[in-house]
């Protein structure tokens, strides 16, 4: 029933808005209208597309993409776009059918993670066989692949300005490499035994693999799967037994789960602190140090160093 309803909505909206993306003006003479799902994806589109693109993000700062539901207004915005850029790998779990419908009705859809990263570089899901961890942006090298892939996709869509996308992507890659170097330099202050990252959900696996951290999340890869009492107790036992000094909350997820773990750790005779807020599935607001992807990378590194540089507590 839900799919049939969306199909009807899409048929009406695409029929009404199908010509809105061009308004009869060729792409060579106007900006490319791009709808991005998350704030992180929108930031990438902005950096690679520059003045050639007009980008609108469906999800603002602090919005959890795993739980996001598109409204009829969101569908109308997508129907009027030249391209829809999304992460893919089921990050935007409730929008999968919508992307398929848009693609079948002639909208250009670009699933970045699925196009940019080969399966051999993806982390497999421990709970859902055949699915992969969608949080590729936590490995800067994978996000570099996404930037180059996006440049190619935009160049194919707007061939008159193909060179500008490639040049902007290459310039942005240099910024990404600088951010990656910042992380390596700063986390060197954290002793290897203390590189244990405990967060609200399992979003930081690529970060752990890239930068040498053990990573534990209270919830799984998707926040749509809620943690139970057994999950809280198991994580609390890990933190208490290993005397991990700090856990971290995430900007787009309620801190209640991590606070419950903290209470369970205290019941075991150890007092773990909350080390700070990490930005995971969404960027921060305009005044936040994490308002851009590179700002987020640096901010998260700073938070980890401030909380973990003293090492494991005795």
Residue 19: its pLDDT value, please?
A: 45
Contacting residues for 160 by C-beta, under 8 A, at least 6 apart: 27, 28
Distances (CA, A) of 178 to 77, 114, 118, 282: 35, 25, 24, 21
Distance in angstroms (rounded) separating the CA atoms of residues 48 and 284: 20
Question: Residue 192 and residue 142: Cα distance in Å, rounded?
Answer: 23
| Strand-strand pairing, 32-36 and 53-57 | parallel
Joined together, the tokens standing for residue 248 give: 């971290």
Q: Are 10 and 75 in contact (CB under 8 A)?
A: yes
Of the CATH numbers 3.40.50.1980, 3.40.50.300, 3.30.70.100, 3.30.360.10, which one belongs to the domain with range 191-308? 3.40.50.1980
Determine contact, residues 150/112, Cβ cutoff 8 Å.
yes
* Closest C-alpha to 91, from 268, 270, 223, 265: 223
In this prediction, residue 105 carries a pLDDT of 87
Asked if residue 246 lies in contact with residue 307, where contact means CB atoms within 8 angstroms, the answer is yes
Structure confidence at residue 99 (pLDDT): 94
Q: Where in the chain is the domain with CATH 3.40.50.1980?
A: 25-183, 191-308
Contacts of 7 (CB under 8 A, 6+ apart): 101
- Tokens for 214, please give them: 């053990």
* pLDDT one digit per residue (tens) for the chain, 314 residues: 455 445 545 554 555 444 445 567 888 789 999 999 999 999 999 999 999 999 999 999 988 898 899 999 999 999 999 999 999 999 998 899 999 999 988 899 999 999 999 999 999 876 656 689 999 999 999 999 999 999 999 999 999 999 999 999 999 999 999 999 999 999 999 999 999 999 987 899 999 999 999 999 987 555 445 667 888 999 999 999 999 999 999 988 888 999 999 999 999 999 999 999 999 999 999 999 999 999 999 999 999 999 999 765 44
Q: How is domain 25-183 classified at the architecture level of CATH? A: 3-Layer(aba) Sandwich (3.40)
DSSP conformation letters of 136-201: GGGSHHHHHHHHHHHHHHHHHHSGGGHHHHHHHHHHHHHHHHHHHHHHHHHHTTS-GGG-EEEEEE
pLDDT given for residue 5 in this prediction = 47
3-state SS, one letter per residue, for 102-137: HHHCCCEEEEHHHHHCCHHHCCECCCCCCCECCCHH
pLDDT digits (tens, 9 = 90+) for 275-301: 999 999 999 999 999 999 999 999 999
Question: Quick one: pLDDT at residue 9?
Answer: 54
d(CA 281, CA 37): 11
- pLDDT at residue 24, as a whole number: 72
The Cα diameter of the chain in Å comes to 69
Q: What predicted TM-score, i.e. pTM, was given to this entire model? A: 0.90
Contact call for residues 271 and 265 (beta carbons, < 8 A): yes
The predicted pLDDT at position 224 comes to 45
Closest CA to 87 of 48, 133, 123: 133
Digit-coded pLDDT (tens) for 209-261: 999 999 999 875 554 456 678 889 999 999 999 999 999 999 888 889 999 99
Cα radius of gyration (the chain): 21
């Amino acid at each position: 029933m839900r799919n049939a309803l969306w199909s009807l909505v899409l048929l009406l909206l695409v029929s009404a808005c199908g010509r809105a993306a061009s308004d009869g003006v060729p792409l060579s003479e106007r900006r490319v209208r791009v709808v991005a799902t998350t704030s992180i994806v929108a930031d990438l589109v902005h950096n690679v597309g520059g003045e050639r693109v007009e980008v609108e993000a469906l999800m603002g700062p602090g919005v959890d993409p795993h739980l996001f539901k598109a409204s009829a207004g969101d569908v109308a915005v997508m129907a009027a776009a030249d391209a829809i850029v999304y992460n893919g790998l089921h990050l935007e779990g409730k929008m999968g059918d919508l992307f398929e419908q848009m693609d079948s009705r002639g909208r250009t859809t670009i699933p970045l993670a699925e196009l940019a990263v080969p399966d051999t570089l993806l982390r497999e899901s421990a709970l859902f066989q055949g699915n992969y961890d969608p949080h590729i942006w936590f490995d800067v090298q994978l996000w570099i692949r996404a930037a180059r892939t996006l440049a190619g996709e935009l160049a194919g869509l707007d061939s008159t300005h193909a060179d500008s996308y490639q040049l902007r992507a290459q310039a942005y890659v240099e910024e990404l490499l600088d951010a990656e170097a910042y992380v390596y330099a700063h986390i060197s202050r954290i002793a290897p035994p203390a590189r244990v990252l405990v967060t609200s959900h399992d979003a930081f696996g690529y970060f752990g693999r890239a930068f040498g951290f053990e990573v534990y999340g209270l919830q799984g890869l998707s926040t749509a799967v809620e943690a139970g009492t057994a999950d809280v107790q198991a994580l609390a036992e890990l933190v208490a037994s290993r005397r991990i000094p700090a856990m971290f909350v995430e900007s787009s997820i309620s801190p209640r789960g991590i606070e419950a773990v903290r209470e369970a750790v205290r019941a075991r005779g150890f007092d773990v602190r909350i080390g700070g807020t990490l930005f995971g599935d969404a960027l921060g607001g305009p005044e936040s140090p994490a308002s851009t992807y590179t700002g987020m990378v640096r901010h998260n590194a700073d938070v980890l160093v401030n909380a973990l540089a003293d090492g494991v507590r005795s």
